[in-house]
Structure 1
Amino acid sequence: MDSVGRVLIREARPEDDVAIGELLVDAYVTQYAKKLPEVVYTDERKRALREVAAKREVATVLVAEVGGEVAGTVALFAPGAPGSEAWLPDAADLRHLATAVRYHGQGLGKPLLDAAEALARKWGVKAVCLHVRRGVSGVARMYMGRGYVRTPEGDLDTPTVFLEAYVLRLAV
């Protein structure tokens, strides 16, 4: 990767938990402040993002490492895993893609998504499901550019947020 140097994608380890949690909070707060200033991240939501150890118990958490630093992350939940929001049977759930603020716009999301999608294929699942907050059209376009298709039947309308569903069908 030319703009950020050499990138290592690997599974997260316990010693990465704090760095991943802070990266998620910083990235989400910074990006939503730019794109959707009305979105407020509560202390409860920040606490949930920082619960990386609990997430590693139910999902595969990957990190992008640049120069020994955790520079990005993504989580993939297997079909039926606790906390999965996949609405299709035999589908993985992709969550919490983020890069450190200083790496935004430098293409670090691509190797993370490549690795997560490769893992889903290795698992033999038929699809990868994900949700994007309504109004974050640039993120949605990025996923659609990778072959994800808008799938309204998987939308989540919670009391605090409306999440639009997308799916990538995998060849089996």
Structure 2
Amino acid sequence: MSTQDAMGPVVVRDARPEDDGVVGELLVEAFITQYAKKLPEVVYTDERKRELRDVAARRKIASVKVAELAGEVVGTVALFPPGAPGSEAWLPNAADLRGLATSVKLHGKGLSRPLLDAAEDQARSWGVDAICLHVRRGAEGVARMYMNRGYVREPSGDMSLPSVFLEAYVMRLKSPA
């Protein structure tokens, strides 16, 4: 998949083993940098950083996409199929969208659009009923971005974890029966 915008041609493709290192660092940098600015109380443990960097394990169970700009990996997103280990989807036959991140130097440039287009197209090809995702409470800009794409807030999928409260959003691809 390729798209053209003000940055130049952005190519979205499946992540490959040779992308794992750069994707892992991109996730750590994007999450830590952005949350540190917007939510200074958020602390990422070494364990969480290790999880973010373990792209190889994620590729075994999820569809991991990368965005390339001028040959450089500058964004990523993962989509877990229904029932996949680690999926946080709370609806039956729903995919779980996780780990959307773009290079910090390109934040605000619309790079999430082609990544989300690719993930949503992947979900449709799987024939799922919905895409579920979670946003850290307080990350209003992130929530707004998803809502502008058609995701709706669904409190029944909220997750209260020991260190974070995650608000649930869903995009229904098929009408519930």
* TM score, norm. by length of structure 2: 0.95
| Residue of structure 1 in register with 2:67 after alignment | 64
Quick one: which amino acid aligns to residue 80 of structure 2?
A: F
Q: Secondary structure at the match of 2:124?
A: helix
* 1:27-106 aligned within 5 A: 27-106=30-109
Quick one: which amino acid aligns to residue 72 of structure 2?
A: E
Q: Which runs of structure 1 show a deviation greater than 6 angstroms over 4 or more consecutive aligned residues? A: none
Among 1, 7, 11, the residue aligned to 2:10? 7
Q: Secondary structure at the match of 1:7?
A: strand
Output the aligned Cα RMSD.
0.9
Per the TM alignment, residue 171 of structure 1 is displaced from its structure 2 partner at its CA by 3.4
Unaligned 5+ segments in structure 1 are none
May I ask how many residue pairs the two structures share in their alignment? 172
Per the TM alignment, residue 42 of structure 1 is displaced from its structure 2 partner at its CA by 1.2
Among 93, 111, 114, the residue aligned to 2:114? 111
The answer to whether 1:164 aligns with 2:167 is yes
The answer to whether 1:127 aligns with 2:130 is yes
Q: CA offsets, 1:98-131, max 9 Å, x none?
A: 0011110000000000010011001000000000
1:128–1:167 Cα contact (<8 Å) kept: yes
Per the TM alignment, residue 5 of structure 1 is displaced from its structure 2 partner at its CA by 1.0
Equivalents in 1 of 2:122, 2:136: separation in Å?
A: 24
* Percent of pairs with identical residues: 72
Equivalents in 1 of 2:120, 2:26: separation in Å?
A: 21
1:127–1:170 Cα contact (<8 Å) kept: yes
Per the TM alignment, residue 2 of structure 1 is displaced from its structure 2 partner at its CA by 2.9
* TM score, norm. by length of structure 1: 0.98
Quick one: which amino acid aligns to residue 66 of structure 1?
A: L
Per the TM alignment, residue 82 of structure 1 is displaced from its structure 2 partner at its CA by 0.6
Per the TM alignment, residue 43 of structure 1 is displaced from its structure 2 partner at its CA by 1.0
The answer to whether 1:143 aligns with 2:146 is yes
